[in-house]
Amino acid sequence: MYLKLSWRNLWRNRKRTLITVSAIAFAVLAAVFMQSINRGSHEMMIDNMVRFHTGYVQLQDYRYDEEASLDNAFPYLPETETRALQAHDRITGVIPRIETFMLAGNDHTTRGAFVLGIDPEREHDFNGLRDHLSGGRFFEPGEDKAVVTEGLARRLELAAGDTLLLIGQGRFGMSANALFEISGIMRHPLHEINEQTVYLPLHSIQYLLSADEHITHLLIALDRERDTRNVRQALQQEFQDDELIAYTWPEMMPELLQLLEFDLVGAYVMAGVLYIVIGFGFFGTVLTMTLERMREFGVLLSVGMKRSRLAGVLLMETLFISFIGVLSGLGLSWLVLYYFYLNPIELTGQTAETIIEMGWEPILPVSFAADQFYTQGIIVFCIAVVVFLFPLLKVMNLNILEAARK
């Protein structure tokens, strides 16, 4: 019957309650949506960076971080690979790479280039590298050819079938010069890489750089992002006597993370402002709901209703409003997110061009992470509790006679 009392009180002023409820629902929707888009794009960015750039976890020689030189490459033998794969059961694969800088040239000019020695099969499995080819074909394993990214190819006026000149230094100062036939041109999703990169088969570059059976990086693929730290731990353990060190992707890209966090703070501030506005509206409703019933409260206390009981009834009213608001807001958010999940928002104009330039799809991906749903619920619940302080104080300090006279 107390519940009935609260519930019916809500609908005494139907319009006002509906307005409050829809304001809360709207705030929840807006907050979830903003966060979701934000997180969605962050997840996409991180995923791209991890797949093309660093891997979730990476093994390097412990000196490499200080001096990123081929001299600090480490031996990569079949046994190394087995040990890495067995270090943790969430590891789904390992991707060996050699990274170095060389001069890339045609018959009359040269440019600085980022040269990557890779195992094309494994790279493709990890990040679908071959799908980004824009001309020619990818070199087969065992083939002695090069793939050049679009930006570099454009600068050097090279195309598939042309010959690429590479000049540089191998391990321990050995000179390393060679000519490679270009088998294909690719458009790399990460802009910086697209401007300056040459891909070579791992064995070719090892030979060229006098670095047989050596690599500079071993990328680790996982089936779940959240195992990153554990896997790092396991690898650290396994390879500590080999003078190798394992890094997680956040350690390797602190700037990116900072940037994303900064971005998130912006979204939080916006959501915060939104909630403050909604909080005041909610407060206004509860305020009038309380003030216009002072006389009724006076009567209830007169006839013998305990103050705590009455406060309980009012608390239920406040909670009802917030629950209905949150639930409809979440329901709505779910529908909206689901819609945009199925039909991603296509970006247009300037932004879209920039994003296409970066090789990404010009869409705003949404994140479906569950926690953003209940976080909003908790926030609104906290607001409700704060808002409830007003009627609580009023009821606890209510002077029966004064209330009755108003």
Between the alpha carbon of residue 230 and those of residues 90, 91, 130, 251, 287, the distances in Å are 9, 11, 31, 14, 51
Structure tokens at 109: 């000019």
Alpha helices in 246-304 (DSSP H): 249-252, 254-291, 294-303
Which of 215, 300 has the CB closer to another protein?
A: 300
Q: For residue 365, list its beta bridge partners.
A: none
Which of 82, 302 has the CB closer to another protein?
A: 302
**Minimum distance of another protein from residue 308's CB (angstroms):** 9
Asked whether 99 and 64 are in contact (CB, 8 A), the reply is no
Which of 12, 229 has the CB closer to another protein?
A: 12
**Minimum distance of another protein from residue 31's CB (angstroms):** 33
**Minimum distance of another protein from residue 10's CB (angstroms):** 9
**Minimum distance of another protein from residue 17's CB (angstroms):** 13
Which of 129, 300 has the CB closer to another protein?
A: 300
| Cα distance between the two ends of the chain | 27
- DSSP element (H, E) containing 56: none
User: How would you classify residue 68: left for phi > 0, otherwise alpha for psi between -120 and 50, otherwise beta?
Assistant: beta
Residue 359 dihedral angles phi and psi, to the nearest 5°: 85, 10
Whole-angstrom Cα distance, residue 245 to residue 242?
9
Half-sphere exposure of 308 (CA within 13 A, CB side): 0
User: Which residues bind to another protein, rule: CB under 8 A?
Assistant: 1-2, 4-5, 8-9, 11-12, 295-296, 299-307, 309, 400-401, 404
Which of 7, 101 has the CB closer to another protein?
A: 7
**Minimum distance of another protein from residue 340's CB (angstroms):** 41
Which of 137, 405 has the CB closer to another protein?
A: 405
Which of 308, 351 has the CB closer to another protein?
A: 308
Which of 83, 309 has the CB closer to another protein?
A: 309
Query: For tokens 């704060």, what's the residue?
Result: 386
Structure tokens at 19: 């307005």
Cα dihedral 60→65→71→74 (10° resolution)? -10
Q: What SS3 class is residue 341?
A: helix
**Minimum distance of another protein from residue 306's CB (angstroms):** 6
Q: How many residues does the chain have?
A: 406
Give the burial class of 111: count Cβ atoms within 10 A of its Cβ; 0-12 exposed, 13-18 middle, 19 or more buried: middle
Helices 307-342 + 254-291 axis angle, to 10: 140
Which of 245, 324 has the CB closer to another protein?
A: 324
